[in-house]
Amino acid sequence: MAKVLIIEDNATIAKIWRVQLERSGHEVAVAARGVEALELVGNVNPDIILTDLMLPGMNGFEVVEKLRGREDTKDIPIIILTATSSHQNKERAALMGVHSYIVKSECTPRQLSEAVSAALGAAKTN
């Protein structure tokens, strides 16, 4: 179906997401750090990116900012998956053009697949 890039430093969480998305028919690549993701994105050419906010070195907002500043990645749908339900973070994400802001503890693997499908569907209509 789609190529997905997951940016998540917790290996267990990344594996759960990867397995769920692969079961849904997606091709999945994983990066544990923002810098790694920025290097990988050109090779993977993802249709959608899922990122945590709390990453080592470069946080998720910095990653999103860099992705939005690149010609080859500026229009890729991005979903933030994070442990923080901060209203300010949600507003900031919306201003940065993030498709969805999802709190990890409130999202099942199935809901994640549905969110990815919704973001991909919205991207096709734009």
- Domain ranges for the chain: 3-125
pTM: 0.94
- pLDDT beyond 70 at 125: no
Q: What is the pLDDT of residues 48-89, one digit of tens each?
A: 999 999 999 999 999 999 999 999 999 999 999 999 899 999
- pLDDT beyond 90 at 10: yes
Number of Cβ within a 10 Å radius of residue 48 = 22
CA dihedral of 111, 27, 16, 87, whole degrees rounded to 10? -50
Q: What is the pLDDT of residues 27-42, one digit of tens each?
A: 999 999 999 999 999 9
Classify domain 3-125 by CATH architecture: 3-Layer(aba) Sandwich (3.40)
Overall average pLDDT of the 5-27 stretch = 95
Quote the pLDDT of residue 126: 59
Contacts of 67 (CB under 8 A, 6+ apart): 38, 41, 49, 73, 74, 76, 78
Q: Give the N- to C-terminal CA distance of the chain in Å, as an integer.
A: 18
